[in-house]
Chains A and B, each alone.
Chain A
Amino acid sequence: MAFLFRRLGFYLAAFLAAATVNFFLPRLMPGNPVEIMFSSAGSDLSADNLEALKLTFGFVEGPLWQQYLAYLHSVFTGDLGRSIKYFPLPVTELLGRALVWTVGLMGTATLISFTLGTVLGIMAAWRRGSTFDVVFSVGAIMATSMPAMVLSLVALFVFGFELNWFPTGYAADPALDPAFSWPYVSSVVRHGILPVLTLSVVLTGGFLVTMRNNMINLLGEDYIVMARAKGLSDRRVMFWYAARNALLPTVSSLAIAIGTVLGGSLVTEVVFNYPGLGNTLYQAILARDYPVIQGQLLIMTLAMLTANFIVDVSYVLLDPRLRRA
């Protein structure tokens, strides 16, 4: 329990660090920070609205620490300001809408790639040095060294434009009304296949290599030799003796992978014109909509910290040594 509390304290510090970056960046840039933050609004913003926005981002009268506290106050009360491009839509609402699609995309892709990568990694380690191992582990390393947008663009060109198997944009047929009905749901699935698959290909490699290397290091251990000496079947040794223990570090690599998943999902969405966080963010970058750009850092950090905490909890459940400490 003490372990989990310590982690929570650490996550609070990490979140504070992200907020601090947001606070100081516009103030560190040459020029007037207020102008930098809201310049893209031009003359569209009324004086009242501008005042409210300035308050949210801590541009108040007083010394720096008072401004900092004012900004932290708005962050911790869940006020991330309003989008300038889509004024007066609050940033939390704009990003919240998009987040649903991104989480769906990321969740499915992570599930597919984690399962696939782990199983393939176990098999590659078991038959290390074989053609199977060489093909999959070299292929995996190569897949992780490709920018996500490259794979997405090639997939979009081949399967979307040339073969015409899948739609080339949006999360669902725009002619359909969002409802829990067969035509709408099937349209969502059909639009999701290509982005999910390309994202899975990008991610599988990382899980495969981690699992393979963990497994290989474990296969030299005495208890594996003992299990084989007992005459247990290959399958039993592979999954119940080696893979179980190799899985533990893989779970913690999952937490770090969430960051990669996020990044990959951002660019994949831009390529497939998918209405998730990535696309919203892309529009915000083009319009220099700073409140949205800053807001996404906080929301992504929060998502990452939550994922890390879930991994911590599962670690305590998986590793008895931590429970006693």
Chain B
Amino acid sequence: MGAVLRSVAHNRKALAGLVIVAVIVALAIAAPWLTEYDPTRRVGRPHQPPSWDHWLGTTRIGQDVFARLLYGARTSLAVGFGAGLLITAVGTILGIVAGYRGGRTDEVISFFTNMVLVVPNLPLLLVLAAFIGQASPWVIALILGATSWAWGARVTRAETLSVKQKDFVKSAEMLGEPSWRIMLYEIFPNVISIVGINFVGSVIFAVITEATLEFLGLGDPKTVSWGMMLFNAQNASALQVGAWWDILSPCFALIALGAGLSLLNFAVDEIANPRLRTGNTLSRWSLLMRRGEGRL
């Protein structure tokens, strides 16, 4: 763990990503102190441009965009991390069990994994959400967890297959350790890098997909979230009437969160796969080359 933290601290991309995500989390937590407005109340005249009273203007029904943005961050973050955790947990458990147990168990799990992978995800989610009706953020997180674990299960299984061959697993088996213990204490710590990549990727996916489902009109209208802000602004023809603040504010919020998370993802990827790590070693090499000290 210490080694991972140290590499995060040394990786500029990881640091930048961490700072962006941390700032968004801090803003979401501090929402009540940063704005005096209630995000669901009508607090001004409709579609007012940004001003001193309303930093990011107002929506068509006169709600404060800045207040909605801050409180909406809570929903996006909660669904992102909640669903991300769920997706990763299901994928990791299925992947390790399939990879370690092998045989019939593996065949059954792999069959379902591959099946879920070839059924297009968004259309499936649309059908599920449409029947549920106005899906609250928690329901969206749950159905994301139930349908989006396949990729994680597949890569975790592949990794488990190679770890399974290692001597320390063999010796644990010889000692007669129960298989759940081997999976939890021998295999899991050694596939943790894959689990990390899976987790950050799933959080990004969950944030995007929650916003998409809400934008397509499947969310609960009472929810304050970035996806619902986009849906309401699009329905109010915000761009057509020139109320760009209404639609661009949630856009840039999603861009910032996506950028922060993806920088983190990139860094975790580099930490897990040293071959992809090119920054430090190569820059040192090219420095030597420039000085004429190195030789090809």
Which residue numbers of A lie inside 8 Å of B, CB to CB? 10-11, 13-14, 17-18, 21-22, 25-26, 29, 36, 128-129, 133-134, 137-138, 141-142, 144-150, 153-154, 156-157, 160-161, 168, 213, 216-217, 220, 256, 258-259, 262-263, 266-267, 270-271, 281-282, 285-286, 288, 290, 293-294, 296-297, 300-301, 303-305, 308
Contacts of A144 in B (CB 8 A): 262
CB within 8 Å of A: which of B74-133?
Answer: 111, 114-115, 117-124, 126-128, 130-132
Other-chain contact of B247, A18, A153, A258, A285 (Cβ < 8 Å): A153
Flag if B266 contacts A149 (CB, 8 Å). Answer: no
Contact A14 B262 (CB under 8 A): no
Task: For B204, give the chain A residue with the smallest CB separation.
Answer: A145
CB closest chain-B residue, reference A284: B130
Can you give 15 contacting A-B residue pairs, CB < 8 Å?
A11-B118, A13-B115, A14-B115, A129-B279, A147-B215, A149-B230, A150-B251, A168-B240, A262-B120, A263-B121, A267-B216, A297-B123, A297-B124, A297-B127, A301-B119
Knowing A146-B255, A216-B275, the reply to whether A259 touches B247 (Cβ < 8 A) is no
Residues of chain A with a CB closer than 8 A to B208's CB? 145-147
If A11-B118, A216-B276 touch, whether A286 touches B123 (CB-CB below 8 Å) is: no
In the complex the two chains form, is A145's CB within 8 Å of B119's CB? no
Q: Which of B130, B276, B283 has its CB near the most chain A CB atoms (within 10 A)?
A: B130
Cα–Cα, bound, A148→B211 (Å): 10
Give the residues in chain B near A288, CB-CB below 8 Å.
Answer: 130
A160–B244 Cα distance when bound, in Å, is: 13
Residue of A nearest to B227 (CB): A147
Is B54 part of the contact surface with A, judged by Cβ < 8 Å? Answer: no
Q: Kindly provide the distance from the CB of A263 to the nearest chain B CB, expressed in whole angstroms.
A: 4
A145 and B212: CB pair below 8 A? no
| Residue ID in chain A nearest B215 by CB atoms | A149
- Point out the residues of chain B lying under 8 angstroms from A153, CB to CB: 230, 234, 239, 247-248, 251
Going nearest first, the 10 A-B pairs with the smallest beta carbon separation are A129-B282, A263-B122, A145-B258, A129-B278, A145-B262, A300-B123, A128-B278, A259-B120, A141-B262, A147-B208
**B contact residues around A148 at 8 Å (CB):** 212
Q: Is the CB of B261 within 8 A of A145?
A: yes
Find B239's partner among A13, A161, A294 (CB 8 Å cutoff).
Answer: A161
Evaluate whether A147 and B248 lie within 8 angstroms (CB atoms) in the complex, with A129-B278, A256-B117 already known. Answer: no
For B, the interface residue count at a CB cutoff of 8 angstroms equals 52
Q: Report B135 CB to chain A, min CB distance, Å.
A: 12
Which among B115, B126, B132, B282 is the interface contact of A17 at CB below 8 angstroms? Answer: B115
Number of A-B contacts (CB under 8 A): 159
> Are A304 and B262 touching (Cβ within 8 A)?
no
User: Counting chain A CB atoms within 10 Å of each CB, which of B114, B122, B259 scores highest?
Assistant: B122
Classify the interface of chain A: helix, strand, loop or mixed.
helix
Tell me, in angstroms, the Cα distance from A281 to B126 when the chains sit together. 9
Interface residues of B (CB under 8 A from A): 13, 111, 114-115, 117-124, 126-128, 130-132, 204, 208, 211-212, 215-218, 230, 234, 239-240, 242, 244, 247-248, 251, 254-255, 258-259, 261-263, 265-266, 273, 275-276, 278-279, 282-283, 286
- With both chains docked as a complex, state the minimum distance between the C-beta of A110 and any C-beta of chain B, in angstroms: 14
Most buried by B among A36, A150, A290: A150
Please give, as numbers and ranges, the residues of chain B lying within 8 Å of A22 by CB-CB distance: 127
Query: Contact between B251 and A262 (Cβ–Cβ < 8 Å)?
Result: no
Given contacts A17-B115, A142-B259, A217-B275, contact A285 B126 (CB under 8 A): yes
Name the residue of chain B whose CB is nearest to the CB of A287.
Answer: B217
Q: Report whether A286 and B217 are in contact in the complex, using a CB–CB cutoff of 8 Å.
A: yes
Chain A nearest CB, measured from B158 CB (Å): 13
In the assembled complex, which residues on chain A have CB atoms less than 8 Å from the CB atom of B262?
141-142, 144-145
Given the known inter-chain contacts A26-B131, A141-B262, A282-B217, please indicate yes or no for A147 contacting B126, CB distance below 8 A.
no
B282 touches A304 (CB 8 A): no
Nearest-CB distance from B113 to chain A (Å)? 11
Check A213–B204 contact: CB distance below 8 A. no
Query: Are B282 and A14 in contact, with the CB atoms below 8 A?
Result: no
- Cα distance A141–B16 when bound, in Å? 14
Min CB gap B123→A, angstroms: 4
Is B254 a contact partner of A147 (Cβ separation < 8 A)? yes
| Interface pair B230/A294, CB less than 8 Å apart | no
Cα distance A6–B115 in the bound complex, in angstroms = 14
Q: In the bound complex, how far is the Cα of B249 from the Cα of A154, in angstroms? A: 10
Task: Point out which of B119, B258, B276 has the most chain A C-beta atoms below 10 A from its C-beta.
Answer: B119
For the complex, what is the distance from the CA of A305 to the CA of B119, rounded to whole Å?
8
CB distance from B168 to the nearest CB of A (A): 26
Chain A contacts for B132, CB-based, 8 A: 29
Q: How far is the CA of A65 from the CA of B96 in the complex (A)?
A: 35
The complex places the Cα of A305 from the Cα of B114 at a distance, in Å, of 12
Extra inter-chain contacts (6) besides given A150-B255, A296-B123, CB under 8 Å? A129-B283, A142-B262, A154-B248, A270-B215, A285-B126, A308-B118
Q: Which residue of chain B has its CB nearest to the CB of A133?
A: B278
Q: How far is the CA of A130 from the CA of B179 in the complex (A)?
A: 46
B residues in contact with A13, CB < 8 Å: 111, 115
Nearest residue (CB) in A for B250 is A150
What residues of chain A lie closer than 8 Å to B282, measured between beta carbons? 128-129
Q: What CA separation (Å) do A133 and B240 show in the bound complex?
A: 39
